[in-house]
Structure 1
Amino acid sequence: MEPEILARITTARAARDLSDLARQTVATTAETTSPADRILQARRLRQLANEIVDRVVLAEALGGASWQEITEALNRQDPDTVRGEYEDAVAEWEAMPEDQKAAAADGLEALDAWYKRHREDQDPKLATPVADLLNRH
């Protein structure tokens, strides 16, 4: 499996986790809890959102996007700095052994089933958006 596709799968997994955590945060809105607990939960949401950005950058770099293009999309100034932040991760994903790639890709069906359960009318009408990645190349 191509590293770009694998990075997109892990991005989808992280997006699912963020969505689930956000929904849980809404559910606890009226609960009596400490300020520290609410702040920790909000920080976890931010951490997951940042992880998604990192995964998207990784996937785009693995897919051949230029560092200039990535830098502009991140609203940053220096492509060399951005490349320096991500180049080790890109190299690791490119060198990942096939057995690790296969293990990391497990669960496509579960992600697609999650999407189907949570899809709303305004969302894209795709039956298997994650599994469809395998047919891209």
Structure 2
Amino acid sequence: MTPEILARITTARAARDLSDLARQSVASTAAAINPAERLQNARRLRQMATQLVDTLVLAEALGGTSWEEITEALGRRDPGTVAREYAEDVAGWEAMPEGQMVAAAEGFEDLDAWYVRHREDQDPELATPVADLLNRH
């Protein structure tokens, strides 16, 4: 297990959770809930999307993507600023003991099952997109 793989598994979990919450938001479109609750749900979606992006930045940085490429993809201007913003998190993930990474990745197989259940025709036809990470290194 590498920090990059764990970050990618964590990103996949965040994407799954965001998808599930977005689907629930669609289901509550006609529900009789107050505006504050509807806005709170939307804010939670935005927070989860931000968390997904942040974890994906970590995965890319841990995988060797340059800060210039990451900065450009984020629509930002200064790679040094972006690198500094994520430096502490990157260092923390790099310093994580192997056993802690393995424990944090437990249950990743559930993500593959979730993907297969929710896959639509236009999505890549993969049976184990998350488990395939472990075969990369």
TM-score range, shorter chain: over 0.9
| 1:2 aligned onto 2:2 | yes
1:117 match: 117
Superposed CA RMSD:
0.7
Q: Give the Cα separation in 2 of the matches to 1:115 and 1:80.
A: 36
Q: Give the Cα separation in 1 of the matches to 2:70 and 2:108.
A: 27
Matches within 5 A, 1:1-137: 1-137=1-137
TM-score when scaled to structure 1?
0.98
The CA deviation at 1:108 is 1.5
Number of residue pairs matched?
137
Q: Give the Cα separation in 2 of the matches to 1:102 and 1:26.
A: 35
**Any unmatched runs of 5+ in structure 2?**
none
TM-score when scaled to structure 2?
0.98
Aligned structure 1 segments of 4 or more residues deviating by more than 4 angstroms: none
The CA deviation at 1:125 is 0.5
**Any unmatched runs of 5+ in structure 1?**
none
Q: Give the Cα separation in 2 of the matches to 1:81 and 1:101.
A: 28
Q: Give the Cα separation in 2 of the matches to 1:85 and 1:127.
A: 36
Residues 57-88 of structure 1: CA distance to partner in whole angstroms, max 9, x if unpaired? 00000001111111111110111110111010
Percent of aligned pairs sharing the same letter:
74
The CA deviation at 1:107 is 1.1
